[in-house]
Amino acid sequence: MSMLNFDDRDGSIWLNGELIPWRDAKVHVLSHGMHYASSVFEGERIYKGRVFKLEEHTKRLFASAEMLDMGIPFSQDQINDATYKTINVNGLAEGYVRPVVWRGSEVMGVSGQGNKINVAIAVWEWPSYFSPQAKMKGLRLQISSWKRPSPETAPVFSKCAGLYMICTLSKHEAERGGYDDALLLDWRGQVAEATGAHIFFVIDGIIHTPVPDCFLLGITRQTVIELAQARGYEVIERAIMPEEMERADECFLTGTAVEVTPVAEIGPYRFTPGAVCKNLIEDFDATVGKAALSECSAA
Ligand code: PMP
């Protein structure tokens, strides 16, 4: 994997309808998106040249923009086509896709109504490295001091830049403590999610996961719920209090980046990644059509 800075690479980025050289895809310092967080994005994965659930991600991008009062000046089909144009021109088979939408530099002030809505799509190489065996060790999570806000405090269902402020702070806190990631509770004190992934627990053979009533509707989360049900597992979406983690045997995260990754530790609670984690990793890998480890150039 490349260690080059993200602004200094070869390749092309799609910006407002055209493919341009990677290094030319710049924004001005006086951009509404940067000063007032009027920015939404997506995170998608390319497996063997195909984007997993592209239509769902594009749909969520448009919904996220709408929640921030931004109308995207392209159709969903145009964005889907542009995504494949960008992937193909950059010659990627295993990678990540980052569409981003933001208000530009026409007007500076809280009101963003006079601003142009910009759209960019960038792709980069990102093989999914970890073998199922390596994943089974499990991540170590700290419980964050930050809480996911209530739906009347922030546009919680939007994948908007502003909501990542507490994720970055939580992740820094966790990394300083030697942890892999952080678990955020919500404003009520219920278990919510990790900094970029959803969470599931296995209690007495039944899978439990928080109701998505104050965080992003996860595309991987939905896929994994369906895979679990197809295997015959019962999946219950409900309010989960942190103390209940004492009773959980297994725990795992789901997300575009982490895919299905077991958790071994959250604050004072311990889990033993087992059969449920192993089965769902296998089912997920088969569903996305993941390249075998030996096929990944960088693995
Ligand atoms: N929560 C947060 C805060 C995220 O950023 C992500 C990644 N998009 C997820 C959960 C997982 O969602 P998905 O499965 O759609 O990638």
Please state the three-class secondary structure of the chain as a single string.
Answer: CCCCCCCCCCCEEEECCEEEEHHHCCCCCCCHHHHHCCEEECCEEEECCEECCHHHHHHHHHHHHHHCCCCCCCCHHHHHHHHHHHHHHHCCCCEEEEEEEEECCCCCCCCCCCCCEEEEEEEEECCCCCCHHHHCCCEEEEEEEEEECCCCCCCCCCCEHHHHHHHHHHHHHHHHCCCCEEEEEECCCCEEEECCCEEEEEECCEEEECCCCCCCCCHHHHHHHHHHHHCCCCEEECCCCHHHHHHCCEEEEEECCCEEEEEEEECCEECCCCHHHHHHHHHHHHHHCCCCHHHCCCC
Residue ending a domain, among 64, 96, 124, is 124
Residue 44 sits in a domain of what CATH number?
A: 3.30.470.10
Q: How far is the CA of 196 from the centre of ligand 1 (A)?
A: 5
End-of-domain residue from the set 57, 89, 124: 124
Domain shared by 148 and 115, yes or no = no
Evaluate: CB of 181 within 6 angstroms of ligand 1: no
Nearest residue (CA) to ligand 1, atom 2:
196
**pLDDT, tens only, 112-124:** 999 999 999 999 9
- The pLDDT-based confidence of 295 (bands split at 50, 70, 90) is low
Ligand 1 atom nearest 256 alpha carbon: 16
- Over the chain, what is the mean pLDDT? 95
Q: What is the pLDDT of residues 128-162, one digit of tens each?
A: 778 888 899 999 999 999 999 999 999 999 999 99
- Between residues 1 and 256, the one the model is more confident about: 256
pLDDT, residue 224, reads: 98
Cβ 216 under 6 angstroms from ligand 1: yes
Residues tagged active-site:
159
Q: Is residue 176 part of a domain?
A: yes
CB-ligand 1 contact for 218 (6 Å cutoff): yes
Tell me: do 116 and 87 sit in the same domain.
yes
| Same-domain pairing of 170 and 279 | yes
Say if ligand 1 is within 6 A of residue 193 CB: yes
278 and 175, same domain (yes or no): yes
Together in a domain, 193 and 281: yes
The pTM score is 0.95
Pair 66, 142 in one domain: no
Average pLDDT over residues 61-71: 98
Of 94, 124, 154, which closes a domain? 124
Look at residue 291 in the predicted model and tell me its pLDDT.
Answer: 66
Q: For position 195, what pLDDT does the model report?
A: 98
Residue 43's domain comprises 12-124
CA 106 / ligand 1 centre spacing (Å): 31
> Does 164 share its domain with 276?
yes
pLDDT-based confidence at residue 292 (cuts at 50, 70, 90): low
pLDDT surpassing 60 at residue 2: no
97 and 42 together in one domain? yes
99 lines ligand 1 (CB under 6 A): no
> Is 299 within the bounds of a domain?
no
**166 CA distance to ligand 1 middle (Å):** 14
Q: What percent of the chain has pLDDT over 90?
A: 92
Q: What pLDDT, on the 0 to 100 scale, is given for residue 117?
A: 98
> Ligand 1 centre from 193 Cα, in Å?
9
Residue 57 Cβ contacting ligand 1 at under 6 Å:
no
Task: Tell which atom from ligand 1 comes closest to the C-alpha of 223.
Answer: 14
Whole-number Å distance, alpha carbon 273 to ligand 1 midpoint, is: 21
Residues 111 and 219 in one domain: no
Q: How many domains does the chain have?
A: 2
Q: Do 164 and 255 fall into the same domain? A: yes
Residue 197 resides in a domain: yes
294 found inside a domain: no
Range of weakest confidence among 77-86, 113-122, 289-298: 289-298
Which of 216, 221, 252, 259, when mutated, tests ligand 1's pocket best, judged by the most ligand atoms within 8 Å of its CB?
216
Same domain, 101 and 142: no
Q: Is the pLDDT of residue 3 over 80?
A: no
**Is the same domain home to 43 and 162?**
no
> Does ligand 1 come within 6 angstroms of the Cβ of 196?
yes
